Amino acid sequence: MPSQIIISDHIEMKGDASHRSNMDGPWQEKKVHFHDHFTDDTLSTAKWLATVTNHTIAVDHATNRHCALFTTDTTDNEASFLAGPLCWEDDQNAVAEFRVKVSDVSAVCLYVGFSDATLESTPDMPIDYSGGTLAAAATNAVGIVMDGDDTVNGASSIVGVGVNAGVLETAIDSGTDWADGEWHVLRVELNPDGDAYFYLDGTAFGYMATAIASATALCVIVAVANRGTAAETVYVDRVDGWQDEES
């Protein structure tokens, strides 16, 4: 048996191995890895800062489900945030991945990715299409947005976005529209130049050069805003983050 096996893509377990314990011994990752599948009794205040602005419905666990639940009130442009600490950097090849479901895509704005702030003032989002055009409250942020107010790409379009030192980057439309009640896996990868790579359901859809100012301290964040006058829901099944260990 060789002492080192190099795999260029991934290991896939099939048959019986796909649904039972299939590894003996500890799996010691070399990357820093944050993972939350929301299986605790409550949202961990050690892991997350949950904030709502201009409404009172807290981000919470979904009943009988391992998901974080965002519920909007009935006022347009309310915002809610679920963010971790500012401990991620492009210099360490940070990656963030989210699995999310939106109840009514035409009545919600969703932003997932990285930001230099754990929340924004009422009723701003890190980056969004409020009023129909691309705008950023964050100074440095990079992520994926789907906004019911987006009149540029379409109200259900899944779009890669970034803001570098207060200057918005040219958005990248994935070419995919989000349907009501669909689950999607959204992923953002950074390199040490501040460049970003965007993925939808495991498939790359865009590259953005210097998406953020390099060496900016970032948090992993999910932000949700209402785009109508009805209560809407967004489920976050899991959040993962990876980056290189400190050198």
| pLDDT value of position 1 | 61
Question: What mean pLDDT is reported for the chain?
Answer: 94
| pLDDT value of position 8 | 84
Q: 64 lies in which domain range?
A: 47-243
198 versus 73: the higher-pLDDT residue is 198
For 139-166, write each residue's pLDDT tens digit.
999 999 999 999 999 999 999 999 999 9
| pLDDT value of position 20 | 72
Residue 139 lies in a domain: yes
Residue 61 lies in a domain: yes
| pLDDT value of position 122 | 82
Residue 211 lies in a domain: yes
Residue 4 lies in a domain: no
Which amino acid, residue 149?
D
Distance CA 112, CA 184 (A): 12
Residue 236 lies in a domain: yes
Bridge-based pairing state of the strands 233-243 and 203-208: unpaired
For 178-198, write each residue's pLDDT tens digit.
999 999 999 999 999 999 999
Q: Does pLDDT of 23 surpass 80?
A: no
Which residue carries 């953005």 as its tokens?
A: 208
Q: Which two tokens stand for residue 83?
A: 């963010």
Greatest alpha-carbon span in the chain: 62
CA distances from 190 to 142, 186, 211 (A): 9, 14, 9
Q: Does pLDDT of 7 surpass 70?
A: yes
Distance CA 202, CA 186 (A): 8
- On whether the CB atoms of residues 18 and 231 are closer than 8 A, the answer is no
| pLDDT value of position 46 | 92
Model pTM score: 0.94
Q: What is the CATH number of the domain that holds 188?
A: 2.60.120.200
When divided into structural domains, the chain yields a total of 1
Q: Is 101 helix (H, G, I), strand (E, B) or coil?
A: strand
Percent of the chain with pLDDT over 70: 99
Q: Does pLDDT of 63 surpass 90?
A: no
Distance CA 224, CA 90 (A): 24
For 109-118, write each residue's pLDDT tens digit.
999 999 999 9
Residue 162 lies in a domain: yes
For 209-224, write each residue's pLDDT tens digit.
999 999 999 999 999 9
Distance CA 108, CA 129 (A): 11
